[in-house]
Structure 1
Amino acid sequence: MKKLILSAFALTMLLSCSNEDSVAVEDGAVATAHRGCASHDVLERQLAEDPSLSQRMAAFDLQAEQFLTEGRIVNGVLEIPVVFNVLYKTGSENITDAQLQSQITVLNNDFNATNADYVSNNPFNSVRGGLKVKFTLDGVNRKATTKASWGTNDAMKKSSQGGINPTSPTTKLNYWVCTIGGGILGYAQFPGGSSATDGVVIDSKYTGTSGTASYPFNKGRTATHEVGHWMNLRHIWGDANCGNDQVADTPTHNAANSGVPAVGHRSTCSGQPLEMYMNYMDYTDDRGMYMFSKGQVSRMSAAFASSGPRSSFR
């Protein structure tokens, strides 16, 4: 188990969601079947554009540490309205309301720890946690486009660049559905960034559980992973060899896992701990991930506390 270690350097290493070196993808790129997202690359760009972001994120980490130490929780059920912004060039990219609703169902099951595919005899059963939250479908905006792929420069979030501006981003979770390209399944903006670009972006092929949802990422877990980032969770391996995800009850991982690891898979880090490869913040296939830990739930709760970076959602 890990102690919480806070450093400005660690902030610059946050959340590397891509299995590829280049993520600034433009039109015509072809996605490949591995879990790729671009949250870390987007964060690095935002840190370069806004030097004060690092200080704000460091302050959020300190608030989260205090929140965990004091044992406070968010009372009641937190309701999060979700606005889907669908950008499409082809008919298949213009996914149905039913497919979007299936994603809402997945988010509610995964975050509340009511998902039916949970394996109750896994070795981390005692630390499984659920957040008291209710995601609701607030609205769907659709826009035809001539772009084959959008890349990761937030163009899909700006009407001036052919995208869709966010709707009430301080009180609603904006979820852009579009083809990103380059093997990128999705990415999120972490607490502290500009409200003009706040939210998550997920490829249409990895949204929901019906329609165009594509194996092995056809159970809606890309959104679970990215919304976890949006709620201030880091990757379980801490974005470094044997890194720190700032959560005490997750074991140290030496790197991301892919596919569905064999039962008993262990880290090469000190003590060779059993890895929590079924955690939503790893890189396994959708069918291989099915839990958050209690520590992760507390960290997400802290983001919505009265002093937290997403307190406006309360």
Structure 2
Amino acid sequence: MKKVALSVMAVLMLFSCQNDNNSELETQESAAITQRKCATQDVLEAQLREDPTLALRMNQIEDFTKKAMLTGRIVNGKVEIPVIVNVLYRTSSENISDAQIQSQIDVLNDDYNASNDDFSQVPSVFSGIKANVGITFVLEAINRKSTTKTSWGTNDKMKKTSQGGIAPTSPTTKLNMWVCTIGGGILGYAQFPGGSSSTDGVAIDAKYFGVSGTANYPYNLGRTATHEVGHWMNLRHIWGDANCGSDLVSDTPTHNDANYGVPTYPHYSTCTGTPVEMTMNYMDYTDDRGMFMFSNGQKSRMAAIFVSGGARSGFGS
């Protein structure tokens, strides 16, 4: 059983990963991406340094989540999430089409409702815990803004009008997504529940959003957004951002570290028990074509934030 209790110090330690230099991110030219890189943990570490109370709020959310799961207080039926997409563009390729944006919403609906074509590829060892999360996404509005920036970095500038970005729309009741060039090899990042509403949402690089138009192989199946929205719903990386770390979910195997590309199945962990790693989980770092499932434990963890009193109860139905 994975340890799920968190102290304030544990939160700080859990997310103590190497920080990206935002000034470098903003000036670095985009290069071919060969390995998935999500900056969610790095962004959280910076937020924890800037706001010591965030660790306390996240601990409270973690306590609430555990109690909600233990008592069965999770949302019944569908949670429907309105989505606002904010496009920041300098070039025509960054100004992605409405069709490309809708293709990403379609992928989210498939992946979170187990209607993705590759869901049938889940290995039999995980067949008893593969999940239909049962959350739907509805595109409500698209905002577009021309900019002179070549890249935005990971310090939330794209979310601030004072920095040339677009402020979030009703973030307590709508999922805001920013599509722009992030830079530094970052595909995307999200804000965990508990952070400031003024920066709440998910940022995705325009080259890895949706399944058409500018979407670049091997991240051209919309799974970057599936991964980042998972963070926004309180999921951690499956390896717990540490060697043999915990993702705070009991039914996912303990991973050595992040996996890349499309690992050959079965891929064994050298952690205690030598489990088969769930490399096809959306919260690993594999290529888009290599990830196609959530677990029931992850489903329960996500559902817990939508109940009355939960961190995202404004979205609950």
Q: Which TM-score band applies after superposition, normalised by the shorter structure?
A: over 0.9
Mean Cα deviation higher: 272-281 or 121-130:
121-130
For structure 1, the 5+ residue unaligned runs are none
Residues matched between the structures, number: 312
Mean Cα deviation higher: 206-215 or 114-123:
114-123
Instruction: Return closer, same or farther for 1:33/1:121 CA change in 2, 3 Å cut-off.
Output: closer
Mean Cα deviation higher: 122-131 or 74-83:
122-131
Correspondence 1:1-314 to 2 at 5 A: 1-14=1-14, 22-24=20-22, 25-31=25-31, 32-118=33-119, 119-314=121-316
Distance 1:15 1:84 in 2: 28
In the TM superposition, residue 23 of structure 1 has moved relative to its aligned partner by 4.7
Q: Contact conserved, 1:13 with 1:40, CA < 8 A, in 2? A: no
In the TM superposition, residue 269 of structure 1 has moved relative to its aligned partner by 0.6
Distance 2:160 2:5 in 1: 36
Question: Which string of whole-angstrom CA distances, capped at 9 and with x for unpartnered residues, describes residues 244-299 of structure 1?
Answer: 11100001011000000111101111121110000000000000000000000000
Instruction: Return closer, same or farther for 1:99/1:73 CA change in 2, 3 Å cut-off.
Output: same
Identity of aligned residues (%): 64
Aligned with 2:162: secondary structure? helix
For structure 2, the 5+ residue unaligned runs are none
Aligned with 1:126: secondary structure? coil
Distance 1:72 1:62 in 2: 13
Q: Contact conserved, 1:188 with 1:226, CA < 8 A, in 2? A: yes
The root-mean-square deviation of aligned C-alpha atoms, in Å, is 1.5
Instruction: Return closer, same or farther for 1:9/1:114 CA change in 2, 3 Å cut-off.
Output: farther
Point out 4+ residue stretches in structure 1 off by more than 4 angstroms. Answer: 13-16
Question: Which string of whole-angstrom CA distances, capped at 9 and with x for unpartnered residues, describes residues 102-145 of structure 1?
Answer: 00001011111111111144421110112221100000000111
In the TM superposition, residue 27 of structure 1 has moved relative to its aligned partner by 2.8
Q: Contact conserved, 1:15 with 1:235, CA < 8 A, in 2? A: no
Distance 2:124 2:20 in 1: 36
Instruction: State the one-letter code of the partner of 1:54.
Output: A
Aligned with 2:118: secondary structure? coil
Taking structure 1 as the reference length, the TM-score comes to 0.96
Taking structure 2 as the reference length, the TM-score comes to 0.95
Instruction: Return closer, same or farther for 1:281/1:14 CA change in 2, 3 Å cut-off.
Output: farther
